[in-house]
Amino acid sequence: MQAFLRTLQAERGASAYTLRAYRQDAGDFLEFLAAEGITRWHQVDVACARRYLVRLAGSRSRATVARRLSSLRHLFRYLVRTGRLPGNPFRGLRAPRGGRRLPRSLTPAQVRALIQAPKASTALGLRDRALLELLYGSGMRVQEALSLRVADLGPGRELRVVGKGNRERVVLLPRATRAALDAYVQRGRPRLAAPGVEALFVNHRGRPLSPRGAQLVVRRYARTVLGGVRVTPHTFRHTFATHLLDGGADLRSVQELLGHRSLQTTQIYTHTSRARLKEVYDRAHPRA
C-alpha cells in the first residue's frame, strides 16, 4: 500500500488529501477481505470484487461507490503492473446507475449575508471575511486557498494557484475580494500569525488554518445568518460557477476558472442553472 501511494504521488502529483482518500478506500476493502477470510491478492477475483460493490451499494451513496471503484481500479492496476497479479478484477465492473445529484448553491442574498456576517473590528473577523470573499469571488477549492502564502499575493487582481494534480492556473479576484484580503493582511493577520508562519490564513493560535478549521468557520456563520441551510467551503465554489453561468459566462471560461480538466465536469452546472430557470418560470408565469 505504501509503495502504491508513493507511486500515486510521484506519477500523478496526488495531494495529501487525495492520498488519504485512497488509503481510506483501500483500507475499507482490506477490512472486507479480512472478513471474507482472504489473505492474498491473487485470491481476489471478479466475484469477490462484485460482492464488495453490492455490499457497498446497500449502505453508501452512488458517488461513494463510484469513488471506491475508481480507487480500487487504480490499486489493482498497480498490482498487475508490478507483477503481483495477472489481471485486474475491477476492470470490467461498473458503479450502479443513478441520478447525479446537483450541486447545492446559494442565492446572491445568502452570499451577501454570509460575507457581511464577520466583524471587521476583530482580527479573526477580518480573516473570516477575507476567506469567505476569496472562496466565493475566485471559486477556489478550500485546499487551494489554505495553501496560499502571503508572498503569493501580488499587487494586481490575478492570483496563481496550484490545484489538483499539481496543475497551475490563474484565478481572478473581484475588487471586493482584493479589498478584504488587503484589510486582513494589513490589520488582521499581523495580530494572529506566529513568527515564521508563511501561510496566508492562520488560526487563533497563529498556525496555518486547516480545512477542518475553515469548515467550522463557514458552518458557524451559516448557522448564525442562514439558520438551517447547510453550507460548506465547497458550496462557495458551486455558487461561484452557478452565478457565472446565470450571468451569461460561457462554459469554457468557467471550466478554466474552476481548473477542471474535463468540460464534462463543468457541465453539471448548466443543469443547476436550468433548474433555477425553471423555478423562476414556475414562480413568475401566470400559466406555469
Catalytic residues: 141, 164, 234, 237, 260, 269
Distance, CA of 243 to CA of 110 (rounded, Å): 12
One-letter amino acid identity for 121? S
- Please choose, from the candidates 213, 224, 238, 196, the residue with its C-alpha nearest in 3D space to the C-alpha of residue 104: 238
Q: Is 28 exposed, middle or buried (0-12, 13-18, 19+ CB in 10 A)?
A: middle
Distance, CA of 158 to CA of 209 (rounded, Å): 22
Contact present, 128 and 221 (Cβ < 8 Å): yes
- Kindly report the backbone phi and psi dihedral angles of residue 162, in degrees, each rounded to the nearest multiple of 5, phi listed first: -110, 120
What string of DSSP letters covers 243-267?
Answer: HHHHTT--HHHHHHHHT-S-HHHHT
One-letter amino acid identity for 12? R
